[in-house]
Amino acid sequence: MKQESHQAPAATAEHTRSGARMAVDLEKEKKEILNRYRGLLRAIRGDRTPEGTRMIRKALNLAVEAHKDQRRKSGEPYIYHPIAVARICAEEVGLGTTSVVAALLHDTVEDTDLTLDDVKDLFGPTVATIIDGLTKISGIDFQTDSMQAENFRKVLLTLAEDVRVILIKLADRLHNMRTLESMAREKQLKIASETLFLYAPLAHRLGLYSIKTELEDLALKFKEPKIYDEIATKLKKTEAVRKRFISRFTLPIRESMDREGFTYEIKGRPKSIHSIYNKMLKKNVTFEEVYDVFAIRIIIETKHELEKADCWKVYSIVTDYYQPNPDRLRDWISLPKANGYESLHTTVMSPGGRWVEVQIRSKRMDEVAEMGLAAHWRYKDDSDHANVLETWLNRVREMLDDPSGNALDFVSDFKLNLFSDEIVVFTPKGEMRNLPSGSTALDFAFDIHSQVGRQCIGAKVNHKLVPLSQPLKSGDQIEIITSRKQQPKEDWLNYVVTAKARHKIKQALREQKRKLAVVGREAVQRQLRKWGFKSDQRNVDALIAYFRAMGDTDLYYKVARGRIHLDQLAPSQRKDGRLVLPAAPRDRDERTLEEVVGEIRGSHQGTLSLGDDKLKLEYKLSTCCNPIPGDDVFGFITDREGIRIHRVNCPNAVQLMSNFDYRIVKARWKGKDSVEFLAGIKFSGIDDVGLVNKITTIISHEHHVNMRSISFESHDGIFEGKVMAYVQDTDHLDSLMEKLRRVRGVRSVERVDH
């Protein structure tokens, strides 16, 4: 702007007027900056020392100078933004001087000539670390899944270092959302989507309910403007009726609380537009049919040690006048939420036949609810609150513990674990544990200790045996049964939801793979010597390339598991002691389903080889007959689920073969992979003392078989039993059945499908 005025050598009257107007505007802007700065100082809660004020003034001067030539899309001076972010940090989040200084400077390192070293020299290492964290995550771009996931991980890394980084980032995002009107529509949608995906859930998890609510409402405003305006208009129209209702409803409560001598405040506030919209969607109802459009909050002033008792006294007063819904009582005072939220919620029936939610809390609880974990800085003596913050951050650090993990897996784990609701469960000794909802008995085992998880073979929930995959409910008491012989299995990953359990299982599976790879390496070296070649890296690389393995470990592992058969190879020639192999077979992945089926059913009477790793053809084992290696089987081509494998004597085989012979493909088992398959055995005989014990001992100890279920029935001296167990193949199953036939008292043993 200054350059333009300097460029005109002879200013016309119009130019002069324009320049004067510009000068007036700049003067006005200077005054506005000063006013906003004073407002910022007033907003800082707690003790502000003269030294702190000097630091803030120095940061403001530096930021004004650094951003002097920058303007926002709205045309305002850019400096308005950092001042607004600093004010949100102070007023709405409750942060102190250090965070205010960092907020004022949060864009300087990224957008101006100022460096981190300059900031460190002027304001110290703490402010520099926070600004470094903010600079790292300011470039988040949600263009692709993987990019989004990688940036998300970056955000969490900075959060683990200093939680103030994310609190300032949330304040920055809130101000950007409040001033989003000046942006283009595509930009609005992108920023609103990011906000709903990451920032609103983070605000919720950190207990910043006011900020979370406003972020969600603003995101809805820009994503669905019509719906937002419609709900906002209806809320405004019903405001007067709502106020009259609240006044009548709270009158008897106020009178009783006055008699009891409480100092209190009662607020009636509508639910957020976003939460009303969610209710309308979930329950498929109109605005008028959403019954809890507002909640009544009773905030009492009381001593810390009397909070719980006084909140229950107020609950007693409320329920003296209004009938509570027993299913809607939530006691988050005895058991606070994972983010530190404490409150007593009840839903009562009003005289007009309308359910009303009443929230009861102390003034301290209300501040914690509004400012969340940021209140940690205000209630430093409140060790419970500090512990909540530390526990959550530890779980974040735990998730970041495994840098090798896939970024997309990381995002889904993180959202599932740290943004989900929580359940409270207990150990046999009554120790309380918080887990994400949906957690299983196996998650609980790993939460106790990684070794307990690794050796877990079963669990008792409320004294009853349950599968490891059993989802837990709040209040459950869990006892874990372990065995030193137990090892984590691949399918355990389907049973767990917590990041800790997934990480530890993957770690254990990698260890198992490494141990098997040692065996495989020896086999490869033996075979190379047998062929007359050196067992050096060049020859190993030739085998890796031929079998398209992922690397040394993968090659050795597959050899050890019998997925690669070196003895079937015949190296054609030597060249300087190097192994030369024929051209590798064409990758089956490149062929279409039609080509593969064509080959299987072609003139050479080819057969689908089950368990052949090189044949990447989608097939599933049918549950109607549970085929296992060694069974006589066939493949059936389905419309949507690839090929289904059935036993030839499957109950459905006749119908499938007679009606759909054009869909049948031959199939046979290849190799002895140590995968376990489910098979059923039925036995009967004469009841005898200790018979059950003998049978279970044979199954689990002598044959090392894992049982999924076992049942016995006895009628007039005759017993019948059935076991569903995991076996490796028909030889394994036949051997087990033969052993059972030899047990005294057992008359018949046969295989069953289910």
Tell me which H or E stretch contains 80: helix 80-88
Whether 478 and 459 have beta carbons less than 8 Å apart is answered as yes
Please identify which of the residues 110, 320, 490, 491 carries the catalytic annotation: 110
φ/ψ of 656, rounded to 5, equals: -65, -45
Number of H helices, E strands in the chain: 29, 22
Residue 110 is a catalytic residue = yes
Catalytic residue among 111, 331, 390, 402: 111
465 in Cβ contact with 458 (< 8 Å):
yes
Q: Residue type for 35, please?
A: N
Instruction: Output DSSP code: residue 742.
Output: T
Conformational region of residue 77, where left means phi above 0, alpha means psi within -120 to 50, and beta covers everything else: beta
Query: Coil, strand or helix: which one is 145?
Result: helix
Distance CA 145, CA 123 (A): 38
Return the SS3 of 584: coil
What is the C-alpha to C-alpha distance for residues 13 and 495, in angstroms, rounded to an integer? 79
Q: Are 322 and 348 in contact (CB under 8 A)?
A: yes
Give the neighbor-by-neighbor strand order of the sheet with 706-715: 706-715, 718-727, 677-686, 746-752
- Which DSSP string corresponds to 607-641? -EEET-TT----EEE-TTT---TTS-EEEEE-SSS
Alpha-helical runs (H) found in 661-742? 691-697, 730-741
Catalytic residue status for 398: no
Residue type present at position 196: L
Half-sphere exposure for 456 (CA within 13 Å, toward CB): 34
DSSP string, 446-478: HHH-HHHHHTEEEEEETTEEE-TTPBP-TT-BE
Other CB atoms within 10 Å distance of the CB of residue 565 = 12
Residues identified as active-site: 110-111
